[in-house]
Amino acid sequence: MNEITPAGDWQTLRDRHRWKIPARYNMAWDLCEKWAGAEPDRLALIHLGPGGEVREYSYARLSRDSNRLANALAGHGVRRGDRVAVLLGQAPETLLTHLAAYKLGAIALPLFTLFGEEGLEYRLADSGARALVTDAANLPKIAAIRPRLPALETVFSIDGPEPGAFGFGAELDKARDSFAMADTGPEDPAFICYTSGTTGPPKGTLHAHRVLLGHFPGVQVAYDFFPQPGDRMWTPADWAWMGGLCNIALPALRFGVPLVAHRMEKFDPEYAFEFIARMEVRNSFLPPTALKLMRNVARPERFGARLRSVGSGGESLGAGVLEWAKGALGLTVNEFYGQTECNLAVGNCASIMAVRPGSMGKPFPGSEVAVIDSAGEVLAPGEAGEIAVRRGAAAMFLKYWKAPDKTAEKFAGDWMRTGDEGVIDDDGYFWFASRSDDVITSSGYRIGPSEIENCLTGHPAVAMAACVGLPDPVRTEIVKAYVTLAPGVAGSEALAGELIAHVRRRLSPHLAPRLLEFIAAMPVTATGKIMRRELRARDLAKGG
């Protein structure tokens, strides 16, 4: 079975589990239509807008409005297999776009609202997105790059019609509220999430409709045998990333648990406590950076939050944060591990296992995980190697979009390489050691340096650039950039600020370096490759 039957120990959970993937499957049916048919008035979504206004959606309303959107998109020429982008934060229209795309048999493309023009252009062009749903705040970025996006034929704005954009509400008002959902199989593509690489541009990770089924074991176990009566889910993580989308938003809808939607402009730990209490949130995915910031709030009990389960992932919390959470939140945070390519592969469930601080936990039911050597051979407990997930996990991606060579490189036989070095102990717990590449983990985001470096070298003052991650007590790592300047250009504090702002504007604030240093020459290998690790080692040696 895909769903978990509660058990008193981890091994029994794993032994009981069997993947049962239906021959025909569409996520929109599982997320919405089955509830709209059986319990149409059931509460699906509670959205708290920036001005404090609350919108509630029943499953019947989600079904009706997503049908209208599917018809509206079809009327603008969107067909099965076309890419439909959504550039919005946590909002009802984000979910409606996903549901409409799935119903059409199209492929959803979630995009982070903090992306700048360059970051958006690459993803929209690479995916060949045909339609986009966004808002007035993001339309200027789209307008600036649209002449270079010939495939992007249709743009809807949820804030009403604008030059170059149709009004979302007006288009829905014209459309029928019934729609014949595409007959899709579990292997048919559903959405693309772009992930940062280290040796090239971001890669589009293509997931099939079965990815939703693949998340059941991890979600149910990590959130302490979810769902239970009274459960209500929220996360501060954006739905444009796998963590926000597949750990919270989609599972909540699928299991009939009310989903709370609210976007913070900037994470405020005191407000987070108050918000969780006011909105009666019971289950949350809180990234490590959020928990570390919440740890600094005095007397958190005064807010009256009543969380039942909290999951976290992206980096290790450490014993200090886990102990704080027991007192401040009244629970043990269940840490888990996964990637955009295969999410929720390993994790914890404190109610049935001993949580070991610093450990990722054990493989979730339905996932076979091992530590392998460079040849793809499984290593014994205690031997360090690369963490890998065997093919067959339902949450595993189909392929990288238009990159068969990169897809092939991701696998060693039947093992999907994670790029993370680690070890498994004698009791089956996994322990992270280091990245085997140069990915930077900052505030829960996995950041590939290549995209930032390419952006910096696009500035006329820059000849070469390299980015590394340096340790940070709150964010795990911060991005530091090293820059070799073009001939005749002098480094200055003002220029450093200009270059950081250049990345912030062109790519995204979360990718912008927090530190920038000018150096005369880059350390390179005999073949001319920049040695990022040497730059990082220099900084660490001098206490950077």
At 332, is the secondary structure helix, strand, or coil?
A: coil
Amino acid at 279: M
Amino acid, single-letter form, for residue 207: H
Identify whether the C-beta of residue 87 lies closer than 8 Å to the C-beta of residue 111.
yes
Tell how far CA 306 is from the center of its chain. 26
* Local confidence band at 519 (pLDDT 50, 70, 90 cut-offs): very high
Strands (E), 87-239: 107-110, 131-134, 154-157, 166-167, 189-195, 203-208, 233-234
Q: Positive or negative, the Cα torsion across 265, 267, 271, 274?
A: positive
Q: Which tokens sit at 418? A: 């994670």
The span from the CA of 297 to the CA of 306, in Å, is 16
Q: In this structure, what are the phi and psi dihedrals at residue 206, rounded to the nearest 5 degrees?
A: -90, 120
DSSP 129: -
Query: Which of 15-19, 232-236, 524-528 has the least mean pLDDT?
Result: 524-528
Phi–psi pair at 446, nearest 5 degrees: -95, 115
- In the predicted structure, residue 92 carries a pLDDT above the cut 90: yes
**CA-to-CA dists, residue 136 to 141, 145, 156, 262, 513, angstroms:** 10, 15, 10, 18, 28
| Cβ(432)–Cβ(360) below 8 Å | yes
Q: How confident is the model at residue 124 (pLDDT cuts 50, 70, 90)?
A: very high
Tens of pLDDT along 409-419? 999 999 999 99
Pairing of strands 399-400, 430-435: unpaired
Find, among 422, 439, 438, the residue nearest to 533 by Cα: 438
pLDDT confidence band for 527 (50 / 70 / 90): very low
pLDDT digits (tens, 9 = 90+) for 433-489: 766 667 788 887 878 787 788 789 889 999 888 899 999 888 889 999 999 898 899
Cα 522 from chain centroid (whole Å): 33
Answer for the pair 363, 345: CB distance below 8 angstroms, yes or no.
Answer: yes
Q: What is the DSSP letter of 75?
A: H
The DSSP output letter for 248 is I
Number of H helices, E strands in the chain: 19, 27
Rg (the chain; Cα; Å): 23
Q: What is the pLDDT of residue 71?
A: 98
User: pLDDT tier at 330 (50, 70, 90 boundaries)?
Assistant: very high
Q: Mind listing the pLDDT tens digit for each residue in 257-298?
A: 999 999 888 889 999 999 999 999 999 999 888 888 898 899
**E strands in 295-414:** 309-313, 334-337, 346-347, 359-363, 369-372, 385-390, 399-400, 411-412
Model confidence, pTM: 0.87
Domains (range + CATH), the chain: 440-541 (3.30.300.30)
Phi then psi for residue 367, to 5 deg, are -115, 130
pLDDT averaged over every residue in the chain:
93
Task: Give φ, ψ of 205 to 5 degrees.
Answer: -90, 110
